[in-house]
Structure 1
């Protein structure tokens, strides 16, 4: 009989390049983008009309909106990889909590697409060739120019954005334990960096 001790079983650590890690990195990037969109949208409509500051604010807002569509496409691709790896090993338990979480996340993904897409609809309806991408390119129109629907498009974009904000609040409440631990880690890291 071998005298070697068998090490206790340890939980396998996820690889830093795993799809799950990529998904969480995308979560942070996209959360920042949507925060900038919501905050920027709130302030830019209150700026003096037809000024260079407001024009640049609109261009930045539209550019970040287009960026989020691209990031969301990539995030959904990564999410499919995570789901495939997770649910091919074992099927989900369709508990009340799982269904609630699934429905909340599905709504979040729908709003993540609807907010920038309704912004594109507003921008295209107002003026053709009006969708910049960080001052380096102008993106082709998806929707035709139609001044008759500009007011409707503006209201649609406004209400979708603020409904999305309400869902973000619900999501934050749902994830409050994680948010509190993230806040603790962030404040501790800031304290350490200020002491060094």
Structure 2
């Protein structure tokens, strides 16, 4: 008996589809966060739309925290359906994938929280979710601004390194999705 029918069956359940949907939405959000974050860090104070870019970046950061909560709930449903039937085989490959995904989830949370720390240290009540002011998670403390900036920078780029490792680990999926996208674009 091969594992192919089991894999196809597992990929057809709605919880897995939801998990993959939120995966790609969050991937797009993190791409926007990396692009805006690296771009706005280079802007001088007098640059037009700099403040709006920061607000947009912070809004996307707050959004990913909500999406992460949804993603974890969906992941728990997927795990429940998958592992109540068969426990995982604790192979070295499974352990590596599990460890990488665990670190990815930790950093999905740590990056926006470190951004809140950086932002709240600089100024109180300055994190907004598309105009809605969010409560401060950390007290304003101008002495911690540089520490907050450094923590946010290093956590974000460590997360980016983990994303690259995850992409390489899933290279077959990346190539298949790329071919699917090219086929879709050629039809138009």
TM-score tier (shorter) = over 0.9
Q: Superposition pairs for residues 1-196 of structure 1, below 5 Å?
A: 13=9, 18-135=14-131, 137-193=132-188
Higher helix share: 2
How many residues align? The count is: 184
1:113-154 residue CA offsets vs partner (Å, 9 max, x unmatched): 00000000101110011111112x111101000111110000
> Which deviates more, 92-101 or 14-23?
14-23
1:13 and 1:102, CA in 2 relative to 1: closer, same or farther beyond 3 A? closer
In the aligned structure 2, how far is the partner of 1:17 from the partner of 1:129?
42
In the aligned structure 2, how far is the partner of 1:73 from the partner of 1:154?
25
**Alignment root-mean-square deviation, CA:** 1.8
Runs of 4+ in 1 over 2 A off after TM superposition: 9-17
Normalised by the size of structure 1, how large is the TM-score?
Answer: 0.89
1:29-58 residue CA offsets vs partner (Å, 9 max, x unmatched): 000000000111010112231444110000
SS for the counterpart of 2:84 is: helix
Unaligned runs of 5+ in 2: none
Normalised by the size of structure 2, how large is the TM-score?
Answer: 0.93
Name the larger-Rg structure: 1
1:10 and 1:150, CA in 2 relative to 1: closer, same or farther beyond 3 A? closer
Unaligned runs of 5+ in 1: 1-8
